[in-house]
Structure 1
């Protein structure tokens, strides 16, 4: 079992994520699911003992089925928000390392991923 770099304690949470910026043909890739009414970055929790670069490659493969390569670290984003869905009301402090991925020249793949709560996840190419 993997252990994520993060914790939830008495309605307060810290999360360390790695996420991808994937641009193909003038569009950027985002994820969505059946529970939430917004799109979010492709990525997920960094596991203990895993680098953020290893995590972003693993997460992108899990969500797209493709082995994208990292181009460079683009930005580190610190985010404070209140959780939704299964984490409704949780006060989050999140650090995300966003990596620009090398384009593969295509936008077709089959996605079979689900969220932590089991919701079906779908990929969306949004025009820049």
Structure 2
């Protein structure tokens, strides 16, 4: 005969899956799967990101846990186009429905994370960066959270980007030049970013 401590984890799992299933049936939550995976200490993600420029500043996000700024965007869901993903992510993070101007950069990023849920992981990310159409205002309606932590939006001056710990690191150089086509940029934490 087993004690309650034997059955408790099993019962909690059944309760959790029943609760989640009920919420999904009622449409209160959906289970979208990100295009990415991890295996041992390796992590991969397919990401869509936005380049939003207003009045000489570019928009980045930040939060109380991470000690750096990062681009607006997130994982593409399975079955979702990169264009739809970037529009969804921009709306979720800024509260504003920006329009896409064009695909600007395909970024292959290799790095090792030293904090958070990816600490110690060898990371490989492929990101599609879309230049968004300016709206003529920096006003946002952000109420975004990441991993349970409030995200804040920051308009960083393009001319001073090198003063900030902001990722991707290619952004300042990229924004100071005119571009007509799609750039392919490969970044490696042990090597300088290269344009191909």
The verdict on a shared fold, with TM-score over 0.5 as the criterion, is: yes
Flag structure 1 segments of 5+ consecutive residues without an equivalent: none
Would you tell me which structure has more helix in proportion to its own residues?
Answer: 2
1:21-36 counterparts in 2 under 5 A? 21-36=51-66
Once superposed, which parts of structure 1, at least 4 consecutive aligned residues long, lie more than 3 Å away?
A: none
Give the alignment's TM-score, normalised by structure 2: 0.64
Q: Which residue of 1 aligns with 2:124?
A: 93
1:1-128 counterparts in 2 under 5 A? 1-83=31-113, 84-115=115-146, 117-128=147-158
CA RMSD for the aligned pairs?
0.8
Query: 1: CA distance between counterparts of 2:32 and 2:56?
Result: 35
Greater RCO (CA < 8 Å, at least 6 residues apart):
1
Give the alignment's TM-score, normalised by structure 1: 0.96
* 1:17-69 CA distance string (max 9 Å, x none): 00000000111000001111100100000000000010000000000110000
Instruction: Report the number of matched residues.
Output: 127
Would you tell me which structure has more strand in proportion to its own residues?
Answer: 1
Query: 1: CA distance between counterparts of 2:46 and 2:78?
Result: 10
Flag structure 2 segments of 5+ consecutive residues without an equivalent: 1-30, 159-196
Query: 1: CA distance between counterparts of 2:61 and 2:45?
Result: 18
Q: Secondary structure at the match of 1:120?
A: strand
Query: 2: CA distance between counterparts of 1:56 and 1:97?
Result: 9
Larger radius of gyration: 2
Q: Secondary structure at the match of 1:58?
A: helix
Query: 1: CA distance between counterparts of 2:125 and 2:63?
Result: 20
